[in-house]
Structure 1
Amino acid sequence: MQRILFVCTGNTCRSPMAEAILKNKHINGIEVKSAGIYAANGSEASTHAKKVLDDNQISNNHRSSLLTSAEVEWADLILTMTTSHKFAIHQQFPHAVVKVFTLKEYVGEPFNHDVVDPYGGSLGMYEATYRELYELIDKAIEKLKS
């Protein structure tokens, strides 16, 4: 069983979308969760994030959670949305450094390892973030399979 944890800031936009996208692919042997570096426990995903997932027929029933040592220990692979998230995890959980990558870094993107935060932006910004995450997750799945 491969356990993947997506991490962003508040766990209401990017990481819940990434979690829902990967869960929706129904891949045997993969468990997925998400958390946020500065998340408040129990918040729903943002309105636009839920709309974009619904529009793409991806079921979601998200409640935000703060990144804790329990999630870090649970995960085999931690994929962050930005370099700053990655470094925050390195500082807080130095023993986990070998399993923490930005999502873009993990799939081999050579430059700009950050997925843009659509928080507070238009529905169009969320749609663009969704498309980017979908493509990156497809690449991550290929890497996991190899």
Structure 2
Amino acid sequence: MNRILFVCTGNTCRSPMAEGILRRLLQEHGLDHIEVRSAGVAAYDGSPVSSHAASILREQGAPANLTSSALSRELMQWADIVLTMTTGHKQHAIGRFPEYIDKMYTLKEFVEDDPETAQRIAELEELTAELQLKQALDQQISKEERTRLLMLERELPDYEIADPFGGSLAMYRQCAEEIEAALLKLIRKLKP
């Protein structure tokens, strides 16, 4: 895995903070060969990161001069792994680029290190795929299948990273800390 793409909404807060912080961490851990980019499901190319995100990145000694990119087929092809900030971003990306479903995860989901939780995630994804296929074929979904789906969803931890957009610098700092905690787990996965 040499190319990582982070995805959020406008690519001005969460995903550029993830990109900048990971670049710093990769350098610190001698993993300079890994490339990192970010994009947004509702972004315009060339917008600057938010002022609070830029402040956080400067505080962290990370690149702060990042600009936004719209999520595109070219970026999806470029990436070895696509890590989204929320399940909604992941679903949006899957809806637009279903052929790349195998490399899309939420950041927190991808770095999950509890084996039981990872097993529940795999079961949930398999069940979701089966139920979507049933719906597409106009087949009935059983009460047991719906119950199991809801139970699996309730058992999983929260993999969402809340959007700090429009919030205080403290909210951005809290968001960056949450992202960095996940990125430190990612670094452990990336080390040989």
TM-score for both structures, normalised by structure 2? 0.73
Q: CA deviation at 1:15?
A: 0.2
The answer to whether the aligner puts 1:90 opposite 2:94 as a matched pair is yes
| Mean CA deviation greater in 59-68 or 74-83 | 59-68
Match of 1:60 in 2: 64
Amino acid at match of 1:121: G
**Partner Cα distance (1:78, 1:61) in 2:** 22
> Cα RMSD over matched residues?
1.3
Q: CA deviation at 1:56?
A: 2.1
Q: CA deviation at 1:124?
A: 0.5
The answer to whether the aligner puts 1:135 opposite 2:181 as a matched pair is yes
The answer to whether the aligner puts 1:117 opposite 2:121 as a matched pair is no
Cα offsets for 1:85-123 (capped at 9, x unmatched): 001111100010000000000011751111010000011
Amino acid at match of 2:9: T
- Give unmatched runs, 5+ long, in structure 2: 114-155
**Partner Cα distance (2:188, 2:98) in 1:** 28
Cα offsets for 1:9-55 (capped at 9, x unmatched): 00000000000011112223210000000001111000000111112
- 8 Å Cα contact 2:86-2:160 kept in structure 1: yes
SS in 2 for 1:101: strand
Match of 2:52 in 1: 48
* Greater strand proportion: 1
SS in 2 for 1:32: strand
- 8 Å Cα contact 2:3-2:79 kept in structure 1: yes
Match of 2:34 in 1: 30
**Partner Cα distance (1:56, 1:30) in 2:** 19
**Partner Cα distance (2:77, 2:9) in 1:** 19
Count of aligned positions: 146
The answer to whether the aligner puts 1:81 opposite 2:85 as a matched pair is yes
* Greater helix proportion: 2
SS in 1 for 2:62: coil
Q: Using the aligned pairs only, state the percent identity.
A: 47
- Give unmatched runs, 5+ long, in structure 1: none
**Partner Cα distance (2:54, 2:18) in 1:** 12
SS in 2 for 1:34: strand
- 8 Å Cα contact 2:9-2:89 kept in structure 1: yes
Amino acid at match of 1:22: L
Match of 1:10 in 2: 10
Q: CA deviation at 1:137?
A: 0.4
Rg larger for: 2
**Partner Cα distance (2:6, 2:34) in 1:** 13
TM-score for both structures, normalised by structure 1? 0.95
